[in-house]
Amino acid sequence: MSPVNYLYLASLLFTIGAAGVLIRRNSIVVFMCVELMLNACNLAFVAFSRMHGNLDGQIMAFFTMVVAAAEVVVGLAIIVMLFRSRHSASVDDASLMKL
C-alpha cells in the first residue's frame, strides 16, 4: 500500500479537526479536535519518515506526543476551572477579552 494514502488520511483527519475547532462550541470537543489535528500531523510525519527512509519524522512524532500530553494537562485544567466558574463549557461564553 502506497504511503501516499496515509497522507490522504492525515489531511482528512486534519481537516476534520480544524473544522471541529472552528465550528463546535463545547470546549471539550474543541480540545479533542485540536488533539485530532496533532495526531493527523503525527501520522503525516510517520508517513514521510517511511517515504524518505529516515527516522527524523518519527522522532518529531514523539516530540509532538510529549507536547500534546503537556497540553492535555494544562488544557484540561483550564477547561475544568472554566466550567467551575461559569457552569458552562461553551467557548463562546468565555469571551471576556472583548470590550
**Residue 92 interacts with other proteins (CB under 8 A)?**
yes
Going from the C-alpha of 77 to that of each of 27, 37, 38, 73, 88, the distances in angstroms are 12, 20, 19, 6, 14
DSSP per-residue codes, 5-33: HHHHHHHHHHHHHHHHHHH--BHHHHHHH
- Of 9, 21, 51, 60, the one binding other proteins (CB under 8 A) is 21
Least separation in angstroms between CB 20 and other proteins: 10
Q: Please identify, using beta-carbon distances, which residue of 1 and 92 lies nearer to other proteins.
A: 92
**Distance from C-alpha of 70 to C-alpha of 49, rounded to nearest angstrom:** 24
Contacts (CB under 8 A) with other proteins, residues 72-91: 91
- Of 9, 18, 32, 51, the one binding other proteins (CB under 8 A) is 18
Least separation in angstroms between CB 98 and other proteins: 3
Residue 28's φ and ψ, nearest 5 degrees, are: -65, -40
Binding site for other proteins (CB under 8 A): 18, 21-23, 25, 30, 91-92, 94-99
